[in-house]
Chains A and B, each alone.
Chain A
């Protein structure tokens, strides 16, 4: 391919955008709307996932030991060796009694020297690790009598997260169809304006790729523009909302805009380029069959 030809493609693409200003604007608008939808959804789901992870991370696993369990040091080592375990804290039977007594309103619970509570450990897990799996592994260690954690709560949380994922996937799929539908419809108009040009190009002997390139580039440029606009709106909007939310409750575990920016930018740019190119390829396909 000659450099002159590359230059021609690029110029034609830009010219095409400005020649059909209204349609280009409509295309950027559609892509922006679509990406806002995706991006917004992405922000919501990733925050909910983050929230879920944080909630799970705050659940402690309580491990009660048998009377015949090996010493504190040995047990601590065994527990800490399990992948996903972040912190292991020993709670002696005396300490356990103290906590229990506090919970029950103070005072002596048992007769001196007759503490029936077992020694125990509190385990904190890494963020995002599978708490059920960790609990199952803990249970298998010899010397462990009982493992207690918020099983029901975790189950409930898992269900909610799975439900959200399902709803999210359905919504994304619906959004993709809606966007493609809108695109295909706006394309008809764009291409109608260009069909004569394509016909003439074909008649004078232009190759299909020669015809396609400027359109493809045009679509990619429009896609990138749409992505840039939606990224700007999303990040600005998110930063504002984040500030507002934090000013209400600082404890809300939201992802800050720095944490989401890279993924969001890559995701939306890729989607923008995809939509733009797809729109172009689709729009000229029919007219290349001359």
Chain B
């Protein structure tokens, strides 16, 4: 699914976010990215979604060389990838339903498909009864569930989660993790950047640790093994 070889990312201000970074992630895997703040976790996710361009090395996502994507191909490339963030990134002036349908509307999906898919994912994240409410009327956990629903509504092959539980209490975090596991069981590859030791240690999935832009540990069924 993802292949990184000697990947490097240097920002204009000279900061080396990633260097000599090699990693292979198979289809259907669930991978935790751990490491201190500023280690390069988010930079890696930004490269995967082609929000930023690598400065050196190779990065293939779904067998496509990200650096070689033409500008007009990028939107279509992104339609295979779902993303969720720590701050949910919901539109405050749209209802729960609209926030999710929006993701399908902007890729010009058919009306019947939009209705069917949005109701399906709302059912899945358990918020069908709140579809007419606005984000401000929801709890943090509920907002993240809406964000998650939006990320998967187009059935992406890959789901990127950047600190999805960062703003949530432990109990709500587990609800989100349950959903992510559910989605992963359906075959979607998940890469999750996190600082949540409890979750990483308990789920025992593949753990990739990054420090100063370098991959320093990659273990199957790993633990967090960090002191934040």
Contact = CB atoms under 8 A, between A and B. Distances in A.
Contacts of A205: 75-79, 106-107, 154
Nearest to B105: A8
Contacts of B77: 205
A197 interface: yes
B106 A201 contact: yes
B89 A207 contact: no
A204 B78 contact: yes
Interface in A194-209: 196-197, 199-208
A200 to B, nearest CB: 6
A49 to B, nearest CB: 48
Nearest to A8: B105
A200 B78 CA distance: 11
Contacts of B206: none
Contact of B91 (A197, A207, A211, A290): A197
Contacts of B49: 203
Interface string A200-241: 111111111011000000000000000000000000000000
Contact of A210 (B91, B93, B106, B111): B106
A200 B84 CA distance: 10
B108 A5 contact: yes
B103 interface: yes
Of B76, B77, B108, most buried by chain A (CB within 10 Å of CB) is B108
B102 A200 contact: yes
A190 to B, nearest CB: 14
A78 interface: no
Interface string A1-43: 0101100100000000001000000000000000000000000
Interface of A: 2, 4-5, 8, 19, 196-197, 199-208, 210-211, 290
26 contacts: A2-B108, A4-B111, A19-B93, A197-B91, A199-B89, A200-B91, A200-B102, A200-B103, A201-B102, A201-B106, A202-B75, A203-B51, A203-B83, A203-B89, A204-B102, A204-B103, A204-B106, A204-B150, A205-B75, A205-B77, A205-B79, A206-B106, A207-B75, A210-B106, A210-B108, A290-B51
